[in-house]
């Protein structure tokens, strides 16, 4: 990979990690079961995305 591509992957990793954290935090605060489940699903999806990007490095 070129240095520019590596920077892109690192940036994507940071975004995926941030979104995972934000979704988990939101899920912890939500009272509505449906919304809580949605936030948890989004956290899991972003964690999967993080894993895919991490496998590129």
Residue 53 phi/psi, 5-degree rounding, is -65, -40
Task: Write down the residue that tokens 């991490």 correspond to.
Answer: 54
How crowded is the C-beta side of 52, counted as CA atoms within 13 Å?
Answer: 9
pLDDT digits (tens, 9 = 90+) for 3-50: 998 899 899 999 999 999 999 999 999 999 999 999 999 999 999 999
Q: Collapse the DSSP code of 55 into the 3-class scheme (helix H, G, I; strand E, B; otherwise coil) and give the result.
A: coil
Tokens of 38: 């949605």
Q: What pTM does this model have? A: 0.84
CB 47 within 8 A of CB 20: yes
């Amino acid at each position: 990979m070129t240095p520019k591509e590596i920077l892109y992957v690192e940036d994507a990793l940071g975004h995926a990690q941030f979104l995972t954290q934000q979704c988990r935090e939101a899920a912890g605060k939500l009272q509505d079961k449906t919304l809580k489940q949605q936030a948890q699903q989004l956290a899991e999806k972003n964690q999967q995305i993080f894993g895919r990007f991490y496998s590129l490095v």
